[in-house]
Amino acid sequence: MKSYQTTYILVLCLFVFSACSKLPPGLRSNQFEQRFPVARCGGKVQVKDPDPAVIYGQYINPDQGIWLLTPYVTLKPPRYTKNQEDLDYIDDMHDFLLTRIEDKFEREKWVEDIVPYDMESLGEKRDTVVSQMVSKAVTLDTINYGNWNVPPELIRSDVPGYSLFMFIDGQVGFNEVTGYQNLLYLFVIDNQTRKTTYADYMRYECDVRNVNGLDKILDYAYLKLLALRFPKEFKKEGE
């Protein structure tokens, strides 16, 4: 696990201006990307991060490892999606962003390893599983983690410690109502107690395809997780 000091330095990038990194040639040459080029984030990534007023039972054992389940990413296309080539672009962008997230977690050594997990394989249960987790994360008055049972589909008996389930609900291109607003959810699942032991939910304003913006919001979210997991170390850092 990478030290919290290194991650803290990385997250300071939230306060510098973001730029568009180049996408792979196959995406950059797509007609959709030419019609809707990847937008800059307009300065630092704007994050709306509401936290619950009251929290019970939130605890992550610092001696237990965390494994990342294959992140679940959904991308909403803009209204002006024209043809199959546009839809293929959305699919390719999905795969690109998913790989980008996994590469970052591996590169920064944020987790023990990545556990392959295909949400699509759940079929009709997928939306129910996701909504069951999300509905509690966005309840901003009180969260009692001791009562937060995890759907059995997310429990991994082959993982000895914790699983990290990430869900990103992104908007490709500009939306007239929400702009470039995306949603990020993080859930740390205790596979032994079969309960959620930590959850985070935030909105961030940036073109979801902007990989610099994606890196920054992941840094932001993971720093919060580290501060909870290693409170003594972070307290010393702030003294």
By CB atoms closer than 10 A (0-12, 13-18, 19+), residue 80 is exposed
Dihedral of the alpha carbons of 125, 126, 132, 138, in degrees to the nearest 10: -160
Q: Residue 81's CB: how many other CB atoms inside 10 A?
A: 17
Q: What is the pLDDT of residue 29?
A: 56
- Quote the mean pLDDT of the chain: 84
64: tokens are: 């237990």
Strand partners, 114: 68
pLDDT digits (tens, 9 = 90+) for 66-115: 999 999 999 988 777 668 888 888 999 999 999 999 999 999 999 999 99
Structural domain for 202, as ranges: 4-238
Number of domains in the chain: 1
Q: What type of residue sits at position 190? A: D
What pLDDT score was predicted for residue 11? 41
CA dist 213 and 115 (Å) reads 25
pLDDT in tens, 198-217: 999 999 999 999 999 999 99
- 100 against 35, higher pLDDT: 100
Question: CA geometry: angle at 122 spanning 116 and 128, to 5°?
Answer: 120
Q: Which amino acid is at 2?
A: K
- In this prediction, residues 150-170 reach a mean pLDDT of 95
pLDDT of residue 27: 53
Q: What is the pLDDT of residue 18?
A: 38
pLDDT score of 172 more than 70: yes
pLDDT at 15 over 70: no
The whole-angstrom separation of Cα 195 and Cα 125 is: 19
Beta carbons within 8 Å of 60's beta carbon, 6+ residues apart: 66, 162, 188, 197, 198, 225, 228, 229
Tell me the pTM.
Answer: 0.83
Q: DSSP characters for 193-212? A: TTEEEEEEEEEEES-TT-HH
Closest by alpha carbon to 215, among 88, 43, 72, 100? 100
pLDDT score for 233: 79
